[in-house]
Amino acid sequence: MVEAFLNVPRHPFVPVFYREAGGVHRPRRDGEPVWLREVYADQVLVTEVDGVPAEDAGAGGVNGVPTSSSTLPSLMADMLDALDVRPGDRVLEIGTGTGYNAALLCHLAGAAVVTTVDRTEQLVATARIRLREVGFEPAVVAADGAEGLPAGAPYDRIIATCGVRRIPRAWLDQCAPGGLIVAPIGGAVARLTKLPDGRAAGRFLHRPAAFMPLRSGPDHPTRAPGMRGERRDSRIGARVLDDPGFSFWAGLHLAPTVVRHGHVLHDLADGSAAYPDGSSTVTLTGPRDLWRTVEAAHRSWLDQNRPRREWFTIEAGPDAQHIGYTAPDGTAISWPSGC
């Protein structure tokens, strides 16, 4: 693993990336004094905002939501470690992005057995060129990663570098029995082993993992709705969601149709939204008080002595997914997730 990072440079994959200040993303280019230092720092490098690659951004920048990036290197390392790639393993990556992670996979498995997909022709064409420049020619394909890539199946290893609520059935079908799936779910990284009966089961890594979501089907709104509605006091403020342990727990209690924009919660099903602030008040809109669910989840999280992500199990089948937790007193709790 260390050897892969020592041998595969990051800079050819990020000649331009965005730096955000005051909500505006401005390009940082190869040649600027801090560029190289930032490339080799342990930080996320955003490379596309609202579909605009950093290369195409003018000096005025872009105001929008990141849609592609080079992941935090230390998180990439933990995910690759969990993926346990051996030479010759057939690997599928969902979320090519810059191609840097694909290059590390090529180093570990061999380029001939690596396939990587992303959602646009432009993204994959750029990544393909950069991979070739560093000496790798894996299959780089424009496709909806939610469908996997049946042509190359079965895969021994499947890794997603965009978040999902539920392991898609296609990934289960395309993973070889005994193979591994590593994917971000609910702000954590799940590592599952494919079972002979078609399901996959596993646990979560200890570290938090904020990933941009896998975008599939009709586009989800990427921005929070405008703040309006009734304001009320709350026992807890927005900050509780900054605790990755609680954030994971809260996600288990919120409906799968609830999306988060920073601290703002928005239920796509009925339009309800909650805008908590730092001073323990919350503004609510729509038919349901979403923040009540978070308050109740916070109480139960404290009652359960703040369970940590790595204590949870996950079981994914073609038709259902469950996340489970066994409390110290032996009580087992299970949540259907991502339905």
Determine if 49 is a binding residue for ligand SAM (CB under 6 A): no
Find where tokens 């393993």 sit.
89
Among 12, 27, 70, 265, binds ligand SAM (CB under 6 A): 70
Tell me 125's DSSP state: H
Determine if 145 is a binding residue for ligand SAM (CB under 6 A): yes
Q: What is the DSSP string of 142-201?
A: ES-GGG--GGG--EEEEEESSBBSS--HHHHHHEEEEEEEEEEETTEEEEEEEPTTS-EE
133 to 10, 73, 122, 130: CA distances (angstroms) = 12, 20, 17, 5
Tell the smallest beta-carbon distance from residue 114 to ligand SAM (Å): 12
Tokens representing residue 193 in the block: 């082993």
Among 15, 68, 259, 314, binds ligand SAM (CB under 6 A): 68
Nearer to ligand SAM, 144 or 295 (CB): 144
Positions in 80-119 near ligand SAM (CB under 6 A): 94-95, 97-98, 100-101, 117-119
Nearer to ligand SAM, 48 or 156 (CB): 48
Tokens representing residue 54 in the block: 């950093």
Q: How many residues bind ligand SAM (CB under 6 A)?
A: 25
Asked if 221 and 268 count as a contact pair (C-beta separation under 8 A), the reply is: yes
| Residue among 37, 63, 40 nearest 52 (CA) | 63
Determine if 131 is a binding residue for ligand SAM (CB under 6 A): no
Among 38, 84, 144, 277, binds ligand SAM (CB under 6 A): 144
Among 49, 72, 164, 214, binds ligand SAM (CB under 6 A): 214
What is the contact surface with ligand SAM in residues (CB under 6 A)?
Answer: 67-71, 94-95, 97-98, 100-101, 117-119, 123, 144-146, 161-162, 211-212, 214-216
